[in-house]
């Protein structure tokens, strides 16, 4: 009798997997959920011989772990990000690494707009003042007309393009930088393509939409962010490591930047000592831009379906390590 196929789920955040489990049971696939607490034990008893790994974004799948996977055909990241997986080590063993790039495009673009408008209109400051007994519509100046605002997008993939659609009705000017996107794509969305330095020099609000790579890691340092117009705002719903956080703190304290909306941080959850937590001009959400009931269910179902493909000897979708 043929042994059951196995999928090993690495999750240290207690995410929901009910829809996934339904698919695995339907296809007679054995599954186990492992946290960092019971990782070593489960690796020996289950992971070594698993057919596939599903890894929560943030659960490290380094070369050491990958070297122990004797039967694994693919590692699936439970979301868009894949910087927690050693792509080279997986490729050397012939293991596919796959993400789920488009399950939460609507949610992340909506979250980006929500953070942007909240900061541009200074809603948190107004709310705080009113609750403290201050009824003054002009004490949060300056607030500028949205139609006079330049929105800059660093990266112009699926989410950035959805952000454009949501911003257009406000009459803003939109510029973007992405050297991997053809000029015709920008033109099709009514967006002006600019180089990186021009993007920084002209953006009243800079929104980040790039993956975390060696090229983008810490790319926004003090010098780069200082070149933004005085009073500019930064919104980050992609990856925390793009921004040098200490430099962001400095520029907010110096009042060169007027605010930052951050759904992601370099260390998550953040240390209590992280100064961004105590600065009034920041709005921080807990890496939640992806979330809605519909997005969560879609992520589970489509990830499980990709696992089934591999178990059945088919090539999976959304391969990111080029094998």
- Annotated catalytic residues are 239, 268, 287
DSSP character at residue 61 = B
CB 98 within 8 A of CB 306: yes
CA-CA distance, 167 to 223, in Å (whole number)?
28
CB 299 within 8 A of CB 103: yes
Q: Which residue has the tokens 């393009």?
A: 161
**DSSP strands (E only) in 67-204:** 74-78, 96-98, 150-154, 173-177, 192-193
Judged on CB neighbours under 10 Å (0-12, 13-18, 19+), 92 is: middle
CA-CA distance, 312 to 64, in Å (whole number)?
27
Judged on CB neighbours under 10 Å (0-12, 13-18, 19+), 50 is: buried
Provide CB contacts within 8 A for 85, sequence distance 6+. Answer: 55, 61, 75, 77, 97
Query: Which uninterrupted H or E stretch holds 114?
Result: helix 105-120
From the list 179, 172, 232, the residue with the least C-alpha distance to 201 is 232
């Amino acid at each position: 009798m043929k042994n059951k196929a196995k999928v090993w789920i690495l999750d240290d955040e207690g995410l929901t997997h009910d829809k996934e489990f339904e698919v695995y049971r339907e296809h007679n696939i054995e599954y186990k959920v492992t946290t960092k607490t019971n990782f070593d034990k489960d690796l020996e008893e289950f992971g070594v011989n698993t057919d596939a790994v599903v890894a929560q974004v943030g659960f490290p799948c380094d070369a050491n772990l990958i070297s122990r996977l004797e039967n694994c055909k693919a590692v699936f990241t439970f979301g868009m990000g894949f910087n927690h997986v050693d792509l080279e080590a997986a490729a050397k063993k012939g293991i596919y690494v796959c993400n789920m790039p488009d399950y939460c495009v609507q949610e992340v673009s909506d979250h980006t707009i929500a953070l942007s408008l909240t900061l541009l209109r200074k809603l948190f400051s107004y709310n705080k003042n009113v609750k403290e007994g201050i009824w003054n519509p002009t004490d949060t100046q300056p607030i500028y007309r949205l139609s006079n605002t330049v929105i800059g997008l660093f990266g112009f993939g699926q989410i950035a393009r959805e952000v454009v659609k949501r911003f257009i009705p406000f009459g803003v000017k939109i510029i973007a930088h992405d050297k991997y996107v053809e000029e015709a794509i920008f033109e099709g969305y009514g967006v002006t393509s600019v180089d990186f330095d021009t993007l920084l020099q002209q953006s009243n609000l800079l929104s980040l939409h790039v993956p975390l790579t060696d090229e983008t890691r810490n790319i926004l340092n003090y010098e780069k962010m200082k070149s933004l117009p005085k009073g500019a705002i930064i919104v980050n719903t992609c990856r925390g490591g793009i921004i040098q956080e200490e430099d962001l703190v400095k520029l907010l304290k110096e009042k060169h930047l007027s605010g930052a909306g951050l759904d992601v941080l370099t260390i998550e959850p953040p240390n209590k000592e992280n100064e961004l937590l105590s600065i009034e001009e920041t709005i921080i959400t807990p890496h939640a831009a992806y979330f809605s009931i519909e997005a969560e269910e879609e992520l589970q179902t489509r990830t499980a379906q990709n696992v089934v493909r591999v178990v059945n000897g088919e090539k999976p979708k959304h391969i990111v390590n080029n094998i």
